[in-house]
Amino acid sequence: MAESGSGLRVLIIDEQSVTRRMAVKMVRDCGAAEILEAENVEHALTMLDAQKRAVDLVITDVKAGDVAGAMDGVEFVRRIAERRLAANILIASALDDSIIRSIETMAKGFGLDVAGHVKRPISPENLRPVIVRLVARRAAAPLLRSRAVHVSVEDLRHAIAQKQFVPHFQPRVRASDGEVTAVEALIRWRHPERGLVPPGAFIPLADRTGLIDGITDVVLEKSINWARVWLDAGIDIAVSVNLTENALNQPRLPERIAELAKQHGVAHERIVLEVTESAAITEFASSLEALARLRIMGFGLSIDDFGTGMGTAEQLARTSFTEVKIDQALVTGVFEQPQFFGLLESSLKLAKRLGLKTVAEGVEAQEDWDLLSRLGCDEMQGYHVARPMPGEEVEGWVKGWHREAL
Ligand code: C2E
Ligand code: MG
Ligand code: MG
């Protein structure tokens, strides 16, 4: 696996050498270890391909259409994501927020993490929080770092046939009394040579190639089975499972989940389905129908990565979600970043207004917990509580956590 050294590697793309040089200096001042520069996206792609090692962050402008003949920024984002040449992207642009947000949603759809967007010209004030956050996150999450693994469709097919996928579970707890309310199933690919491969490295590909349903089924089956095991051990918690939009639109999905619930004797309200916030989910009739059917059957419905996508109050009000999970980009280290307080607060308020439970993901520090709890967030999930763990460890962890909390 192409693991990089300990420092952050950043690629800056800007056609103006003066702007580029200023950006290089700022990024270096913020603590990046290695900085690459490219004049345009063609040059950047050639350089990244030749490096055989993904960068942690690409900072680029996105324009509606670049100079004649050149690829536009949107195309570039797609190609970077497809070839896994970078883990994160930061868009520095003068374009409208709404256009940038839709490009970000697309980047996410392709499995790229979006570090955020800043207004051009970039300044140390708007760049620093993003870089500092990435440096911290990189140190804290070795698993997420290895997402630049190249995976082919054949690899995935083989892995499904060999049953190499296994969910790990990350607990979440109630802010008011520390009670464990649920665990989220997070899939890992136990690769015989590469070790544990994180979902970012294969879920987008699986989703585009129709292999997602096989993976979703494994996660559902194992998660609901574990829920039964935990109930038998006296642990009454919900289990939540992530669905891509394609998985959600699989016509027989609601029946399949109901069948598994029945087979293992798990109440429907103990099963939560998480769908990432995106315009498509709340605009397309087929997704709305799938969500409505799941809700009518009594399953919980969660909007994942809430707060950075394009959902509006009107769109959300049309759906039948039961909770929102505030995106970790708004949560991790937020106590040090007052510029995010407003966004966080308004996301929480919107959710409350719609009668939804709020869960923060990516809570890494006590200070984040305190701030979120003050802002009225109901539940917390993140490394500060626990990292994702194999199903076998959940019972011991929950029992240990209770003892600590009392
Ligand atoms: P997600 O559903 O938003 O899951 C949260 C991600 O944040 C997980 O990454 C989790 O390990 C990580 N995380 C949790 N707490 C912290 C923290 O305090 N700090 C930091 N830095 N990270 C934290 P993971 O497991 O790599 O999963 C990434 C994404 O892959 C998930 O994001 C979800 O969208 C997707 N995914 C995971 N499992 C499945 C699955 O079974 N099916 C589908 N369709 N998607 C999945
Ligand atoms: Mg999730
Ligand atoms: Mg999330």
Is there a contact between 302 and 325 (Cβ–Cβ < 8 Å)?
Answer: yes
pLDDT score of 125:
74
pLDDT reported for residue 278: 67
d(CA 27, CA 35): 8
Q: What is the pTM of this model?
A: 0.71
CB of 116 shorter than 6 A to ligand 1 = no
Give me the mean pLDDT over the 223-240 stretch. 98
Q: Is residue 316 scored above 80 in pLDDT?
A: no
Q: Whose CA is nearest to atom 33 of ligand 1?
A: 242
Ligand 1 atom closest to 207 (CA): 44
Q: Look at ligand 1, atom 25, and give the residue with the nearest C-alpha.
A: 186
- Per the CB < 8 A criterion, the answer to whether 321 and 291 are in contact is yes
Taking the CA of 274 as reference, the closest ligand is 2
Tens-place pLDDT, residues 171-190: 999 999 999 999 999 999 99
Distance 275 CA to ligand 3 centre (A): 9
Which of 281, 361, 366 should be mutated for ligand 1, with most atoms under 8 A from CB?
361
- Ligand 1 pocket, residue 199 CB under 6 Å: yes
User: Quick one: which atom of ligand 1 is closest to the CA of 147?
Assistant: 26
Q: Decide: 223 in ligand 1 pocket, CB within 6 A.
A: no
Rounded Cα distance, 64 and 145, in Å: 31
pLDDT band at 308 (very low <50, low <70, confident <90, very high): low
CA of 46 to the centre of ligand 3 (A): 32
Give me ligand 1 centre to Cα 344, in Å.
20
Band of residue 33 on the pLDDT scale cut at 50, 70, 90 = confident
Distance (angstroms) between ligand 2 centre and the Cα of 264 equals 23
